[in-house]
Every structure is written in structure tokens, then in C-alpha cells.
Amino acid sequence: MGWASDVRAARGLLRRALENRRAVRQVRARIAAAPPHPSNRFRIAVYFADGAVNMYQMRQWYKPLATLAETWPVVVLSRVATGARALIDESGLPVAFVPTVRALEKYIAGQDIRVVLYVNQNTRNFQMFRYGRRWHVFINHGESDKMYMTTNQFKAYDYALVAGDAARERLSRVLWNYDLDTRTIEIGRPQADHYSGELPYTPDDRTVVLYAPTWEGDRPSAHYGSIASHGEAIAGALLASGRHRLIYRPHPRSGVVDPQYGAAHARIVAAIAASNAADPTAQHVFDDGADLGWQLASADVAIVDISAMVYDRLAADRPLIVTRPVDPEAVVDTHGYLSACEWLDAVRAPEVIVETDRVLGDPEAVSRLAYWVQRYFGDTAPGAPTARFHAAIEQLMDEWDLWHDRSLTQGEDDPEAEAELDA
């Protein structure tokens, strides 16, 4: 069996190589057909060193960044062709394709970038960290109590924009010698001001249930995904009830590591299609679109795994249930919302309708949610998170001016400028 897996792996590598080569040609053609970026135009860069498979990390920032660009011009620095292609097609933001360090360095030299934003912890972020005299800021791609949210990699950034008090408390418990007061800035969830997308169904008297599982994870401590353990039972019960509408929105990486996990996902998708064919009025939804927002706002109840989706839904201030991981090695942080959430064990997944009815009928649900919404996100009034995001960037720009002026006053040399002259 070893040779068979080696052949499959080799074929996968070949497919990815061919796709990347095709993407490089397409990206270069699109960039060549567009006007060049003006010199010294951009003050803010978003650094993205991933391909298309991780575009979900960028998509949620498109609209907040577009509004930010109305004040401070924003460019996306894309290192991988498949990611650059998707960004050019989708984001509406200027994109610089800089696959090599030489290309990155050349582009940076022609701009006045003062703040660099990072949505993930890709190891290639360190290739951008070499550039001083600008702020390197981690903005993440969600808010959650996953172990990812307390990685010591936070210390590599000058600042981190975090959602609220819960994020700071989480970091304070794990990171040693990390100055939360000066290196973290609370902004809430600006994406919540831009929930988008049209409903793909006609509302009626059905109870709408969003099931949004995460992927299987690449290590036991991160085995939060529920598709293989809970998913088919959840979907089966909801599809058969006659009074529910299922919105199934799986993580785009589902099945990337574990083929059996991917197979369970495929069976759920097939079951949704069969149910809609049998009863077109059911209008169940398999959702793999780029828009995120209508799902969170429209569902009567959400069932989610331990992931950023817990907190995206929490920000919407609507009832939710969290699946309990079946792997005992999965790390569950029970200091925050997960200490008080509604859990769904795998053995109870077939009884999901009983569980959703119970949660929807809980008279204390509103007050419980209000407490946790405030703790995680602060003021969630429309427009408030966006205002805090813009204020944070303005603070960083003011601090850039302060440090820049101080350098001029002290007569410091610019090592980057000297390196460019030497080159």
C-alpha cells in the first residue's frame, strides 16, 4: 500500500505544480493589462503568503479593508499565484504579486508603507518582518478560544488588533512577559458591520439551522472538526424533519488531511441535494460561497465546532450550540465562553432537534448571550467596530509619525535606503 500512497502524493504534487504555473501566467497577464501602481501611493499593506486554499482568511477582511482604504490607501502583497489570482478576482483591492524576496523588496522600495497587516501565522511572514521603520500588526482571521489564539508568535508583531477583553485575558494566561496594555488594541469585530449576501431561500415557517463545522485539523490537539463524528447524524435528522431548513457551511479545508472526513462531507452534500430533489420547497442549502454574514444573521440557531465561527455567531447575538470534540487530546479552553456554552456530544447528535428546540426555548438565553457578547466584542452597535478599527489604524499612523520625526531629529541613518543604494 505504501507505493500507492506515494503515487497519489506524487500526482497531487504534480497537479498543484501545474495549477500554480497556470495561475502565475494568468496573474502576470492580468497585472500587465492593468495600469501600474503609482509610486509612494500605499500607506498600508496586507501581507498574504498563502494560496487559494486559505482565501477564507482574507475574504472576511475585504469590506473592512475597502472602507479603510478610503482614508489610507491599501495594497495586498500576495506571495502565491493562486492566492493572487483569487485576490485580483474577488477583493476589489490593489494586489501586488511578489512571489520572490527580490520582487517583494523591489515593490516595497517604491512605496511608503507604514503599517503591514497579517491575517495568519504563515512562516513566510518572517520574510516581511525584516523591514523595519514600519509597524507589523497581526489582525488574525477570526476570534476564538482555539490554541491558535494564544500562540507565542504574537510576540513577533509590534501590535495585535484583538476583539475585546476575552482575547486579552486569554493572552495574559498563556504568554509570559507580553505587554498587553501597549501591544494589543481592542477593535471588536469590524466584519460584523459588513454582513453580506442574499438569502438563497425564501423565508417561511421552517426553523433555519446553520451547521458550520470546521476542518479536521492537522494534529490531535486541534481535532475540533465534527463532520465525521456529528455531521451526518445532524444533517440526517434535520433533512428528515419536515420543519427545518439546513444551511450547511463547512470549512473550505474539510478533508484536506483526512480522506474519510472529506468523504463524510461529500455524503452530507449529496443528502442535501437528494432532499431538495424530493421536496423542492425544503430549500436546504449547501453553502461554499465567499459571502459570510447572511448565514449568521438569518439562522434561528447555529451548530458550530470550536472555531472562529463560534464567535462570529456570538457577535450576531443569536442562539448557538457547540459540538464537543470526540478526540480527548483536543485542547478545549474552558475559561471563556466555552465554559458556559451549550454543548452537543456526538452521542446526542441524532437528537439534534430536541437540542435545538431546547436552546430556542431557553428564557435565559438572551441574557447569557448579552454577557458574552460584551465580554468578547465590546460595543457591537452598527458601525462601532469599524470606528474602533479605523481609530486603531490612526493611532498606529500617529505613532509612525512620532518615531519617524524622532529618527530625523536624532539624525539616524536609514539602513533600508542604504541597502537599496548598494543594490
Residue-wise pLDDT for 197-211, tens only, equals 789 999 999 999 999
Confidence of residue 421 (pLDDT cuts 50, 70, 90): very low
- Show Cβ contacts of residue 347 under 8 Å, excluding neighbours closer than 6 positions: none
What does the alpha-carbon distance between residue 27 and residue 86 come to, in Å, rounded to a whole number?
A: 9
pLDDT digits (tens, 9 = 90+) for 113-126: 999 999 999 999 99
* Nearby residues of 15 by Cβ (< 8 Å), 6 or more positions away: none
Residue 196 reports pLDDT greater than 90: no
Residue 419 binned pLDDT confidence (cut-offs 50, 70, 90): very low
Q: Residue 293: is its pLDDT beyond 60?
A: yes
3 state SS of 295: helix
- C-alpha 377/C-alpha 86 separation (Å) is 30
Average per-residue pLDDT for the chain: 91
Query: Domains of the chain, with CATH numbers?
Result: 41-188+380-423 (3.40.50.11190), 207-377 (3.40.50.2000)
The 10 Å Cβ neighbour count of residue 165 is 15
Q: How confident is the model at residue 410 (pLDDT cuts 50, 70, 90)?
A: confident
pLDDT of residue 18: 84
| Buried b / exposed e along 239-269 (16+ C-beta atoms within 10 A) | bebeebbbbbbbbebbbeebeebbebbeebe
Residue 400 phi/psi, 5-degree rounding, is -60, -45
Among the listed residues 191, 27, 12, 19, the one whose alpha carbon sits nearest the alpha carbon of residue 119: 191
What local confidence, expressed as pLDDT, does residue 10 receive? 66
- Residue 143 CB neighbours (<10 A): 24
Strand partners of residue 110: none
Per-residue pLDDT band at 168 (split at 50, 70, 90): very high
* CA atoms of 223 and 221, how far apart (whole Å): 6
DSSP calls for 50-79: --GGGTHHHHTTHHHHHHHTTTS-EEEEE-
pLDDT value at 6 more than 80: no
pLDDT given at position 72: 97
- Tell me the mean pLDDT in the region 317-345: 91
Predicted TM-score (pTM) of the model is 0.80
